[in-house]
Amino acid sequence: MKALEVSHIYKTYNDITALKDVSFNVAEGELFGLIGPDGAGKTSLIRIIITLLLADSGEIHLLGKDVVKEYKYLRSRIGYMPGRFSLYSDLTVLENLNFFATVFGTSIEANYNLIKNIYSQIEMFKDRKAGDLSGGMKQKLGLSCALIHKPEVLFLDEPTTGVDAVSRKEFWEMLQELKQKGITIIVSTPYMDEAEMCDRVALLQKGEIMSIDTPQNIINEFSEELIEIKTPDLYEVKEKLRLEFGKNSAFMFGQSIHFSTSSKSKSKELLNEFFEENNFNIESVNIIEPNIEDCFIKLMTKDS
Amino acid sequence: MVDKYQNSIIKVRGLTKRFGKFTAVDNLNFDVSQSEIFGFLGANGAGKTTAIKILCGLSSPSEGNAEVAGFDVYKQTENIKKNIGYMSQSFSLYEDMTIVENIRFYGGIYGMPLTLLKERTNHMLNRLKMTEYANKLIKEIPLGWKQKLAFSVATLHRPKIVFLDEPTGGVDPITRRQFWDLIYEAIDIGITVFVTTHYMDEAEYCHRVSIMVDGKIAALDTPDNLKQQYNAKSMNEVFLQLARKK
């Protein structure tokens, strides 16, 4: 069964189009990622799905129910962790958790099993005010509060923004555990490298979905070769490549240049010829595997 | 490349900072060369902020020495401040002022002569393709523009070193690469770039990267060498191996 079916969603704010013909499905038990930069429409989309915002047009079924007509049914069955820390700073860790359990007519004890692995990491601070927690701990408390009523679908809006790499890693491990327990998870992030933690992802840009697939398939569909060039004259070589092959063909990456063109394959031969003609001092030219960010850029520049 | 980085613009020797019994920064030793992009990484609480505050002349060390742009971190903090630029993601420009007002404001703070300021303003707006938007308020322009502008403003007075704190969080990947283009242009005119970030893919853009764990530098090398040494595919893997070892 589909946990979520989104069809042809449009949303505008005054004259700004936030979402344009967005459609996708999420299967039950799937860990689904909405990947896109600030302003791509991630938050609007999540808020429309979880019944907090109305779309201009289009339809959404969550757990088989229409999100506009059956919002009351749905609200008790979904968990939501917004992008901004939105717990009560003046309440303690335990008071926050108790509050959210009570609002949903349940108790911490009833669903402790579900949050045990997460909450146990902050339980020693249960009498500390939520506002005094570190970023990583706030995030764990936020997740505990979003789970305490045992939701069937969990929505997380940019849960890892501003958290350090260790906490981020731990957070994704927690999501994997929740997935094992059968919870459907929809998570948004501006960080392209987090795509690989998801079963499937939608790449979102300016309110439109550019691609939906497994991270590996998206990478496999990168239609050209990505080439890493090492040279002592990085800046000069990069500039020359751009003049010859276009402004998005070459980018600096620390001690190397990443190069790709829309001409399919053989770009390595093409490059070697170009370097020879121009007498550049080149140390190495290697084909490397693209990452999601490379794919995202390719999709962004496809139409322009 | 070796020749280009021979001049140390930041020299750190035995730098230590204690708060009571807690040692936040523990005997740091490193050099940053002119025109280098130096990544300064570490998990929350590793001591990054404390170390940066010292290097920016905002806090004194408990022990050890450091020179920034040739100035001593104990005695010449005012000189340090004049010779560095700073940009962070959380604060950079005044939202209720226009693009050109922000530029003029920062130029004024650094005491730039009016003619020079005008010349650099025109050049900058031209480079960023923002000339026709010069009178737009900061709050009206997209995030990617703000970040590019904030970086350009932070280097307006041609500091010797510019400190960047998570400079490209949240922007789309093309804008981010354009941002790094600006950074590479800056190093081409001799500016040194000191970057701190939580995002390891930003570390891949740096020439060298140091990783702080519990107040100490646990690793310092080029991203390529670190990946090789730790048998890792990405800087993220390197970082996790070091920071989770505790």
Q: Taking Cα atoms as reference points, which of A38, A46, A44 lies closest to residue A11?
A: A44
Q: What is the mean pLDDT of residues A82-96?
A: 93
Cβ(A130)–Cβ(A145) under 8 Å?
no
User: Tokens 């060039």 map to which residue?
Assistant: A229
Q: Shortest Cα distance from B108 to chain A (angstroms)?
A: 32
Q: What is the mean pLDDT of residues A11-33?
A: 96
Radius of gyration of chain A, Cα coordinates, nearest whole angstrom = 23
Mean pLDDT of chain A: 92
Q: Which long-range contacts (CB under 8 A, 24 or more apart) does B173-177 make?
A: B173/A37, B173/A192, B173/A293, B173/A296, B173/A297, B173/A300, B174/A248, B174/A297, B174/A300, B174/A301, B175/A37, B175/B144, B175/B147, B175/B148, B176/B144, B177/A251, B177/A297
Q: Shortest Cα distance from B204 to chain A (angstroms)?
A: 6
| More confident call, B169 vs B104 | B104
Q: Does A39 contact B at CB distance below 8 Å?
A: yes
pLDDT in the model for residue A195: 92
Question: Residue A253 — very low, low, confident or very high, per pLDDT cuts 50/70/90?
Answer: confident
Give pTM, 2 decimals.
Answer: 0.86
Q: What is the pLDDT of residues B36-86, one digit of tens each?
A: 999 999 887 889 989 999 999 999 999 999 999 999 999 999 999 999 999
d(CA B205, CA B1): 16
Q: Looking at chain B from residue 39 to 98, which residues have their Cβ under 8 Å from any Cβ of chain A?
A: 42-45
Q: Shortest Cα distance from B39 to chain A (angstroms)?
A: 10
Radius of gyration of chain B, Cα coordinates, nearest whole angstrom = 18
Q: Does B224 contact A at CB distance below 8 Å?
A: yes
B171 to chain A: closest CA residue? A37
Q: Does A192 contact B at CB distance below 8 Å?
A: yes
Q: What is the mean pLDDT of residues B195-209?
A: 88
DSSP letter (8 states) at residue A228: E
CA angle A298, B172, B192 (to 5 degrees): 110
d(CA A275, CA B180): 24
DSSP letter (8 states) at residue A17: E
Taking CB atoms and an 8 Å cut-off, how many pairs form between chains A and B? Answer: 97
Q: What is the pLDDT of residues A193-214, one digit of tens each?
A: 899 999 999 999 999 999 999 9
Q: Is the ipTM of this complex over 0.95?
A: no
Q: Shortest Cα distance from A196 to chain B (angstroms)?
A: 13
Q: What is the pLDDT of residues A24-46, one digit of tens each?
A: 999 999 999 999 998 899 999 99
Percent of chain A exceeding pLDDT 70 equals 98
The 3-class SS string of chain B reads: CCHHHCCEEEEEEEEEEEECCEEEEEEEEEEEECCCEEEEEECCCCCHHHHHHHHCCCCCCCEEEEEECCEECCCCHHHHHHCEEEEECCCCCCCCCEHHHHHHHHHHHCCCCHHHHHHHHHHHHHHCCCHHHCCCEHHHCCHHHHHHHHHHHHCCCCCCEEEEECCCCCCCHHHHHHHHHHHHHHHHCCCEEEEECCCHHHHCCCCEEEEEECCEEEEEECHHHHHHHCCCCCHHHHHHHHHCCC
A205 to chain B: closest CA residue? B172
Provide the residue ranges of all domains of chain B, joining segments of one domain with +: 90-158
Residue A291 phi, psi (nearest 5): -110, 180
pLDDT in the model for residue B91: 65
Cβ(B5)–Cβ(B33) under 8 Å?
yes
pLDDT in the model for residue B1: 43
Q: Does B171 contact A at CB distance below 8 Å?
A: yes
For residue A199, give both structure tokens: 């079963």
**Domains of chain A as residue ranges with CATH:** 2-219 (3.40.50.300), 222-301 (3.30.70)
